[in-house]
Amino acid sequence: MSDRRDFLVLATAASLARLLASAGLLASAGLARAGERDVHAFSAGSPESVYAALGLSAPVESAAIVIQAPDVAENGAQVPLEVTVNLPRVQRILLIGEGNRFPLLADIRLGERSKPWLEAKVKLAESSRIRVIAEADGRLYTATRDVRVIVGGCLPG
Amino acid sequence: MQNYTIRLRATVDEQGALIKALLTHPMESGFRKNASGESAAAHYITDITLRINDETVLTLLTGSGIAANPLFGWRIADVRSGDTVTVVWRDNLGNTRTKTASAQ
């Protein structure tokens, strides 16, 4: 009986230690990898809840962010975007399709060698605004562009 | 059997390199229904990493709002002809693919 209890105590201590170790590991991995994907932000149902999930403060409107996209997109499932951020030290770019069921399209982390420019093809469910948020030198900037969509990118088919 | 290919090209210019990657992937949101009303299961790339030699220079965290078979373009500084360019993606089902190309 007492053997069994000792065993249980030992087993509990061992699993506790393992738990603590894995928690510690997880915590340090989380710190090391700032590029962790935020599931809540990607499943947020409105632009506001995307900002809340990512803990973003209100960005400042900026003409330094240039969004190139067609004014009219025939096919919402394949909308080409080109984003240029004319600011120094851009660390992060967020692409948001404001009319989509899940507005956050991409959260891009730029290393020091990465130029603040990118091309991507995105889906737009309906005619809506594309919003780009850029973090440069720790501050948030934003710009938008309206795209009219003829056939939505999330229709049954 | 799902076809997953990556086409990758890195062109060196005076500013560094222009990198283009075309990823073959369904990027299924999970919302689309077929004619009989069944939903296609969600199946999309969740993250993409770009490396030059062994340095990670760019990470893209993506949702299902990225187009099917997406094309990306990036610009990276200080890339020389012969440098190794690597693209890695992972999707929500745990699939992963890697492609390496030499900067031209």
Model ipTM value: 0.93
Pick from A103, A117, A156: which is nearest to B32 by CB? Answer: A156
The position carrying tokens 């087993």 is A11
Residue A119 has pLDDT above 80, yes or no: yes
**pLDDT above 90: percentage of residues in chain A:** 66
Asked if A76 and A124 touch (Cβ cutoff 8 Å), the reply is yes
Mean of pLDDT over chain A: 83
Q: Do B77 and A114 touch (CB under 8 A)?
A: yes
pLDDT band at A29; cut points 50, 70, 90 = very low
A156 in contact with chain B, both atoms CB, cutoff 8 A = yes
**Chain B interface, best mutation among A68, A85, A115, by max B CB count within 10 A:** A115
pLDDT band at A24; cut points 50, 70, 90 = very low
pLDDT at position A6: 54
pLDDT band at B84; cut points 50, 70, 90 = very high
Q: Do B34 and A156 touch (CB under 8 A)?
A: yes
pLDDT band at B49; cut points 50, 70, 90 = very high
pLDDT at position A80: 97
pLDDT at position A152: 80
Show the tokens assigned to B26: 């369904």
Query: Would you tell me which CATH number, out of the four given (2.60.40.2470, 3.40.1180.10, 3.40.30.10, 1.10.40.30), belongs to the domain A57-151?
Result: 2.60.40.2470
Does A133 or A17 have the greater pLDDT score?
A133
Domains in chain A: boundaries: 57-151
Q: Do B60 and A106 touch (CB under 8 A)?
A: yes
Task: Identify the structural domains of chain B with CATH numbers, from first to last.
Answer: 6-29+41-102 (2.60.40.10)
User: Which residues of B are less than 8 Å from A106 in CB distance?
Assistant: 60-63, 65-66
User: Which residues are paired to B24 by β-bridges?
Assistant: none
pLDDT band at A27; cut points 50, 70, 90 = very low
The residue-averaged pLDDT of B36-48 equals: 89
pLDDT at position A4: 56
Say how many residues make up chain A: 157
Three-state secondary structure call for residue A20: helix
Q: How many CA atoms lie within 13 A of A150 on its CB side?
A: 7
pLDDT at position B30: 85
Which of A2-6, A80-84, B29-33, B81-85 has the least mean pLDDT?
Answer: A2-6
Burial string for A108-118 (b: 16+ CB within 10 Å, else e) reads bbbbebbbbbb
- Give tens-digit pLDDT for A64-75: 999 999 999 999
A70 in contact with chain B, both atoms CB, cutoff 8 A = no
pLDDT at position B37: 77
Pick from B33, B52, B63: which is nearest to A102 by CB? Answer: B63
Rounded to a whole number of angstroms, the distance from the CA of A19 to the nearest CA of chain B is 24
